[in-house]
């Protein structure tokens, strides 16, 4: 059996990977199955599930199950808040937003949810998330100090810091629905500077934009808002193919897709069951965060919540 990270690594050895981002707050069961079946045929490699708002453990888990049953492809939780998690996904990007100004999105939310992730047995992939102008909703929600579209030095600095901190992936994000994607010049500079895989997303809605990101050095290209709004399967296929640098499909995967077969899945060949990831794990309730409080780790592994705006624990 291969894990999710190994699966992505194997795909990257063959060329640029395409991931589809699904917002579980905007899709019902039927539309999820219909859309993901089309994207499997278009050649996407896996599905990320998440959104800036409206994500719950329930709609996250239901979407993951629908995707697996419709496509057999891996599902990756793209975290939005510490209150939503499920063991129905194949893994999650354990994501730190490096240019957020709110500790919740850098490390404090992670400390709150980490014990529950361990109990569920969900595979985690440490990932640094860097939000570039215009940033859109995710930039606003996470209170990010956005990297300017032309500030290549800042992007490189954050990306190198991510590598030195031990992250296994770096993600440059312009924001879902952005008018302009991350510039190729920035992608190329970051890729040249780091030794870990680079993901690029936000504002990629044409074959030309996807091709530009791929040629600049992106190892993984993500499309999200575009796939929710585009009904033309030919356009979907053109963007996915441009992201991967192919006419249609790639190697063995292309043959499998053309034949309607399942591609190898990180939890087993063509698995469609709803069982937890290998190694077991349990579905556990998460603590609810009240509005205006932030989780802060304290000595002994316990968590204390502080009023909004208070960032230090009083000395005892």
Which distant-in-sequence residues (6+ apart) come within 8 Å of 82 by Cβ? 104, 109, 110, 112, 113, 286, 289, 295
pLDDT at 279: 38
Tokens of 73: 């492809």
- Give the Cα separation of 85 and 117 in Å (integer): 8
- Give the Cα separation of 245 and 274 in Å (integer): 33
CB-CB contact of 78 with 50 (8 Å)? yes
CB-CB contact of 208 with 236 (8 Å)? no
HEC string of the chain? CCCHHHHHHHHHHHCCEEEEEECCCCCCHHHHHHHHHHHHHHCCCEEEECCCCCCCHHHHHHHHHHHHHHHCCCEEECCCCCCCCCCCCCEEEEEEECCECCHHHHHHHHHHHHHHHHHHCCCEEEEEEEEECCCHHHHHHCCECCECCCCHHHHHHHHHHHHHCCCCEEEEECCCCCCCCCCHHHHHHHHHHCCCCEEEECCCCCHHHHHHHHHHCCCEEEECHHHHHCCCHHHHHHHHHHHHCCCCCCHHHHHHHHHCCCCCCCCCCCCCCCCCCCCCCCCCCCCCCCCCEEEEECCCCCEEEEECCCCCCCCC
Kindly report the pTM of this predicted structure: 0.80
Tens-place pLDDT, residues 7-48: 999 999 999 999 999 999 999 999 999 999 999 999 999 999
Most confident stretch, 144-158, 236-250, 254-268: 144-158
The answer, yes or no, to whether residue 2 has pLDDT greater than 90, is no
pLDDT at 312: 38
CB-CB contact of 80 with 92 (8 Å)? no
The answer, yes or no, to whether residue 213 has pLDDT greater than 60, is yes
Which of 72-81, 86-95, 192-201, 291-300 shows the lowest per-residue confidence on average (mean pLDDT)? 291-300
The answer, yes or no, to whether residue 181 has pLDDT greater than 80, is yes
- Nearest by Cα to 205 from 228, 231, 223: 223
Which of 113-117, 147-151, 158-162, 296-300 shows the lowest per-residue confidence on average (mean pLDDT)? 296-300
């Amino acid at each position: 059996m291969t894990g999710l990270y190994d699966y992505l690594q194997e795909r990257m050895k063959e060329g640029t990977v395409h991931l589809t981002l699904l917002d579980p707050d905007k899709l019902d069961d039927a539309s999820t199955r219909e859309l993901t079946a089309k994207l499997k045929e278009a050649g996407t490699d896996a599905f990320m599930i998440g959104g800036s708002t409206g994500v719950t453990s329930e709609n996250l888990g239901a979407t993951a199950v629908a995707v697996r049953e419709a496509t057999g492809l891996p599902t990756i939780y793209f975290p939005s808040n510490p209150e939503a998690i499920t063991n129905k996904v194949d893994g999650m990007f354990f994501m730190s937003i490096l240019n957020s100004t709110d500790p919740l999105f850098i490390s404090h939310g992670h400390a709150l949810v980490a014990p529950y992730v361990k109990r569920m047995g969900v595979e985690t992939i440490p990932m640094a998330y860097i939000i570039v102008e215009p940033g859109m909703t995710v930039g606003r929600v996470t209170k990010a100090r956005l990297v300017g579209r032309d500030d290549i030095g800042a992007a490189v600095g954050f990306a190198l810091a991510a590598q030195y901190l031990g992250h296994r992936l770096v993600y440059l994000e312009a924001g879902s629905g952005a008018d302009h994607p991350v510039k190729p010049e920035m992608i190329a500079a970051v890729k040249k500077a780091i030794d870990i895989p680079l993901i690029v997303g936000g504002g990629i809605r044409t074959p030309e934009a996807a091709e530009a990101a791929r040629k600049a050095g992106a190892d993984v290209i993500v499309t999200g808002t575009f796939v929710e709004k585009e009904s033309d399967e030919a356009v979907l296929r053109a963007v996915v193919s441009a992201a991967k640098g192919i006419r249609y499909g790639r190697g063995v995967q292309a043959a499998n897709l053309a034949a309607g077969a399942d591609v190898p899945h990180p939890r087993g060949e063509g698995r469609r069951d709803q069982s937890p990831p290998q190694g077991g794990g349990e579905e556990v309730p998460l603590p609810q965060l009240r509005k205006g409080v932030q989780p802060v780790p304290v000595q002994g592994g316990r968590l204390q919540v502080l009023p909004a705006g208070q960032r230090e624990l009083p000395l005892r």
